[in-house]
């Protein structure tokens, strides 16, 4: 092909084909032996919707659903105990509230902002240090969290059956760990063995099942332990996460010449299928293969708001249709559905899930709170008002006016 010096309108089309290494070696040998080689190119079309996306949507929605009910159930149990102690002395009530508050961690506004800053620094560190050994470190950290999450979920689940209640309520003192129930001691070896087997064989074709089990257990445990106290903290947290997701998926291309979030999620520099902090399912009917994935943050962060909505509904003793949870749960499902629609429209290019999920969930919650006239209570207190203690009323009446 010969081009003129100033010619600009030249239509050059050179096909590029990617081959597996063994196929390329075989082709090279035939060419070196002066054999006649014929190549036929075939480009199959991907299905508009893969079953993997449907199952991944069900996994994400189901995880938040289970975590929300567990969080609301523990809160309601604590509220019932609170009501039983209203007529007792203040010392017992204070002790009960101190014990109940120590079982979970509430996020403050400053902590919500700091979380996004720390997450950004951690993401850049993973991007810069992405290598085989660094992936191994992440796998170890994931395994530690997976053991803790799986153990917590199994103990809570088995404790619901009367055959295991005695073992769950009988404790023994263990060095470095304090009082531990016999049920926990029985479950922990199984959790460790399961996690170790997954870590050793995580590169086999069906290892994604073990990763999803550990990931779901870890997410449920986090949503049970970590809570937002009111809508103000939830708004700050999700707004910062909204900007965080957009920046590291789209804007980061201007500084790093590639999307930092997508590179980290795929594990392209670490020689693996991706970091373990993901739920993933193989694309069953996609001729190109690969996985459909969703990050833990896309479930945990909006899940904090959804769990908060159900706790508020149960404390307010509202039915499902009259509360916030049904609408918040529906909004999350729709937001995640729109994310997958955007992925298909953009031909598989990575999309920030929180770009679609946050406006759906947070916008629905704010609009519904405004409509019900409870936005101020949701924004500040985060729970309906409880009746005052009778003995406290008596003390106020005895005080001189």
Q: Return the active site residues.
A: 245, 298
Contact 229, 107 (CB under 8 A): yes
Kindly state the tokens that stand for 231. Answer: 């809508």
DSSP annotation of 249 reads I
Contact 219, 60 (CB under 8 A): no
Kindly state the tokens that stand for 317. Answer: 């003793």
- Gap between the Cα atoms of 334 and 328, Å rounded: 10
> DSSP letters along 2-38, please?
---TT--------------HHHHHHHHHHHHTT----
Listed in sequence order, the residues at least 6 apart from 333 whose beta carbon sits closer than 8 Å to its beta carbon are 57, 61
- Gap between the Cα atoms of 202 and 213, Å rounded: 13
- Gap between the Cα atoms of 4 and 20, Å rounded: 38
Kindly state the tokens that stand for 179. Answer: 């009082």
- Gap between the Cα atoms of 239 and 241, Å rounded: 5
Contact 312, 382 (CB under 8 A): yes
If we measure between CA atoms, which residue out of 231, 389, 382 comes closest to residue 305? Answer: 231
Contact 131, 270 (CB under 8 A): yes
C-alpha dihedral over 39, 45, 51, 54, to 10 degrees? 140
Q: Name the β-bridge partners of 281.
A: 292
3-state secondary structure of 292: strand
- Gap between the Cα atoms of 136 and 132, Å rounded: 6
3-state secondary structure of 133: helix
If we measure between CA atoms, which residue out of 361, 211, 214, 196 comes closest to residue 293? Answer: 211
Kindly state the tokens that stand for 397. Answer: 């009446």
């Amino acid at each position: 092909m010969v081009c003129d010096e100033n010619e600009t309108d030249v239509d050059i089309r050179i096909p590029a084909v990617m081959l597996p290494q063994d196929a390329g070696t075989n082709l090279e040998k035939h060419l070196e032996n002066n054999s006649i080689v014929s190549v036929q190119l075939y480009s199959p079309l991907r299905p508009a919707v893969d079953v993997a996306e449907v199952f991944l949507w069900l996994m994400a929605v189901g995880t938040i659903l289970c975590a929300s009910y567990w969080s609301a159930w523990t809160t309601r149990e604590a509220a019932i105990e609170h009501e039983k102690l209203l007529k007792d002395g203040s010392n017992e009530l204070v002790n009960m509230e101190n014990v109940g508050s120590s079982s979970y961690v509430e996020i403050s506004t400053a902590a919500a902002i700091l979380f996004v800053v720390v997450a950004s620094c951690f993401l850049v560190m993973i991007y810069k240090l992405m290598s085989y050994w660094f992936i191994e470190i992440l796998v170890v950290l994931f395994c530690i969290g997976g053991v803790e999450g799986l153990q917590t979920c199994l103990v809570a689940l088995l404790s619901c059956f009367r055959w295991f209640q005695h073992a769950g309520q009988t404790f023994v003192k263990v060095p470095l760990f304090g009082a531990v129930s016999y049920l926990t001691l029985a479950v922990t070896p199984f959790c460790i063995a399961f996690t170790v087997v997954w870590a050793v064989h995580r590169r086999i074709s069906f290892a994604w099942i073990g990763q999803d089990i550990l990931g779901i257990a870890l997410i449920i445990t986090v949503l049970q332990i970590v809570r937002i106290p009111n809508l103000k903290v939830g708004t700050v947290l999700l707004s910062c996460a909204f900007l965080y997701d957009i920046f590291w998926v789209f804007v980061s291309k201007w500084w790093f010449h590639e999307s930092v979030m997508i590179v980290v999620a795929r594990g392209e520099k670490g020689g693996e299928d991706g970091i373990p902090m993901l739920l993933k399912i193989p694309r069953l009917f996609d001729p190109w293969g690969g996985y459909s994935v969703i990050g833990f943050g896309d479930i945990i962060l909006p899940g904090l708001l959804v769990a908060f909505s159900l706790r508020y509904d149960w404390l307010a003793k509202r039915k499902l249709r009259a509360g916030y949870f049904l609408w918040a749960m529906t909004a999350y499902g729709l937001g995640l559905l729109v994310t997958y629609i955007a992925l298909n429209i953009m031909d598989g290019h990575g999309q920030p899930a929180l770009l679609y999920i946050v406006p759906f969930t947070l916008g629905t919650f704010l609009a519904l709170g405004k409509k019900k006239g409870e936005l101020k209570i949701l924004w500040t207190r985060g729970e309906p008002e409880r009746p005052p203690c009778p003995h406290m009323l008596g003390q106020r009446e005895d005080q001189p006016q």
